Protein backbone atom coordinates (compact mmCIF):
# COMPACT_ATOMS: atom_id res chain seq x y z
CA UNK A 1 0.00 0.00 0.00
CA UNK A 2 1.18 3.48 -0.78
CA UNK A 3 1.28 6.42 1.59
CA UNK A 4 -1.83 7.82 -0.10
CA UNK A 5 -3.70 4.57 0.54
CA UNK A 6 -2.77 4.59 4.24
CA UNK A 7 -3.76 8.23 4.66
CA UNK A 8 -7.08 7.62 2.94
CA UNK A 9 -7.75 4.45 4.96
CA UNK A 10 -7.09 6.09 8.33
CA UNK A 11 -9.01 9.22 7.31
CA UNK A 12 -12.07 7.13 6.43
CA UNK A 13 -11.71 5.09 9.65
CA UNK A 14 -11.64 8.36 11.61
CA UNK A 15 -14.78 9.56 9.83
CA UNK A 16 -16.45 6.20 10.56
CA UNK A 17 -15.53 6.47 14.26
CA UNK A 18 -16.93 10.00 14.36
CA UNK A 19 -20.20 9.14 12.66
CA UNK A 20 -20.86 5.79 14.31
CA UNK A 21 -19.90 7.12 17.74
CA UNK A 22 -22.27 10.06 17.30
CA UNK A 23 -25.11 7.74 16.36
CA UNK A 24 -24.50 5.36 19.28
CA UNK A 25 -24.19 8.23 21.78
CA UNK A 26 -27.42 9.76 20.47
CA UNK A 27 -29.31 6.48 20.68
CA UNK A 28 -28.07 5.86 24.24
CA UNK A 29 -29.01 9.39 25.31
CA UNK A 30 -32.50 9.05 23.80
CA UNK A 31 -32.92 5.68 25.49
CA UNK A 32 -31.91 7.25 28.82
CA UNK A 33 -34.50 9.99 28.38
CA UNK A 34 -37.24 7.41 27.98
CA UNK A 35 -36.35 5.48 31.14
CA UNK A 36 -37.92 6.12 34.53
CA UNK A 37 -35.89 3.85 36.81
CA UNK A 38 -32.85 5.82 38.06
CA UNK A 39 -30.47 2.87 37.80
CA UNK A 40 -31.38 2.38 34.13
CA UNK A 41 -30.91 6.08 33.39
CA UNK A 42 -27.54 6.08 35.14
CA UNK A 43 -26.40 2.95 33.29
CA UNK A 44 -27.30 4.33 29.88
CA UNK A 45 -25.69 7.70 30.58
CA UNK A 46 -22.58 5.93 31.89
CA UNK A 47 -22.39 3.95 28.64
CA UNK A 48 -22.29 7.16 26.61
CA UNK A 49 -19.04 8.35 28.20
CA UNK A 50 -16.65 5.93 26.43
CA UNK A 51 -18.54 6.40 23.16
CA UNK A 52 -17.97 10.16 23.30
CA UNK A 53 -14.21 9.47 23.37
CA UNK A 54 -14.58 7.66 20.02
CA UNK A 55 -16.46 10.67 18.64
CA UNK A 56 -13.67 13.07 19.67
CA UNK A 57 -10.85 10.87 18.44
CA UNK A 58 -12.62 10.16 15.16
CA UNK A 59 -13.32 13.85 14.64
CA UNK A 60 -9.71 14.88 15.16
CA UNK A 61 -8.32 12.01 13.06
CA UNK A 62 -10.70 12.78 10.19
CA UNK A 63 -9.83 16.48 10.27
CA UNK A 64 -6.08 16.06 10.67
CA UNK A 65 -5.65 13.35 8.09
CA UNK A 66 -8.11 15.01 5.75
CA UNK A 67 -5.99 18.16 5.70
CA UNK A 68 -2.81 16.09 5.37
CA UNK A 69 -4.37 14.08 2.54
CA UNK A 70 -5.49 17.21 0.69
CA UNK A 71 -1.99 18.69 0.96
CA UNK A 72 -0.37 15.38 -0.02
CA UNK A 73 -2.46 15.10 -3.20
CA UNK A 74 -1.69 18.70 -4.13
CA UNK A 75 -4.80 20.60 -3.18
CA UNK A 76 -4.33 23.68 -1.06
CA UNK A 77 -6.34 24.69 1.97
CA UNK A 78 -7.85 27.44 -0.18
CA UNK A 79 -9.85 25.02 -2.35
CA UNK A 80 -13.59 25.49 -1.99
CA UNK A 81 -14.37 21.90 -1.07
CA UNK A 82 -11.59 21.82 1.55
CA UNK A 83 -12.93 25.00 3.15
CA UNK A 84 -16.47 23.56 3.03
CA UNK A 85 -15.28 20.36 4.72
CA UNK A 86 -13.57 22.31 7.51
CA UNK A 87 -16.66 24.51 7.97
CA UNK A 88 -18.86 21.39 8.21
CA UNK A 89 -16.43 19.89 10.74
CA UNK A 90 -16.60 23.06 12.86
CA UNK A 91 -20.38 23.16 12.53
CA UNK A 92 -20.70 19.57 13.73
CA UNK A 93 -18.61 20.44 16.79
CA UNK A 94 -20.70 23.54 17.47
CA UNK A 95 -23.95 21.60 17.19
CA UNK A 96 -22.64 18.92 19.53
CA UNK A 97 -21.79 21.55 22.16
CA UNK A 98 -25.25 21.80 23.74
CA UNK A 99 -25.39 18.01 24.01
CA UNK A 100 -22.20 17.98 26.05
CA UNK A 101 -23.62 20.20 28.78
CA UNK A 102 -23.64 17.84 31.75
CA UNK A 103 -25.12 20.49 34.04
CA UNK A 104 -28.35 20.48 32.01
CA UNK A 105 -28.87 16.78 32.77
CA UNK A 106 -28.15 17.03 36.49
CA UNK A 107 -31.57 18.26 37.69
CA UNK A 108 -33.30 15.42 35.86
CA UNK A 109 -30.81 12.89 37.19
CA UNK A 110 -31.20 14.29 40.71
CA UNK A 111 -35.01 14.04 40.46
CA UNK A 112 -34.72 10.48 39.20
CA UNK A 113 -32.35 9.56 42.04
CA UNK A 114 -34.77 11.03 44.60
CA UNK A 115 -37.64 8.97 43.27
CA UNK A 116 -39.16 11.70 41.07
CA UNK A 117 -39.44 14.42 43.74
Q: What is the DSSP string of 45-98?
A: HHHHHHHHHHHHHHHHHHHHHHHHHHHHHT--TTSHHHHHHHHHHHHHHHHHTG
Name the pLDDT band for 1 (thresholds 50, 70, 90). confident
Regarding predicted confidence, which is higher, 100 or 27?
27
pLDDT, tens digit (0-9, with 9 covering 90-100), for 68-98: 999 999 888 888 888 998 999 899 878 876 5
pLDDT, tens digit (0-9, with 9 covering 90-100), for 103-114: 555 555 555 556
* pLDDT at 117 > cutoff 90: no
Share of the chain above pLDDT 70, in %: 82
Name the pLDDT band for 13 (thresholds 50, 70, 90). very high
Contacts of 100 (CB under 8 A, 6+ apart): 52
Averaged pLDDT, 34-50: 90
* Range(s) of the domain holding residue 11: 3-113
Domain count for the chain: 1
Is 0.85 surpassed by the pTM of this model? no
Amino acid sequence: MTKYDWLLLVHILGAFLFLSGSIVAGVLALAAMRRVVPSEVALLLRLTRPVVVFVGVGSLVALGLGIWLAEYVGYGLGEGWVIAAIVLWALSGALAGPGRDENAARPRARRAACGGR
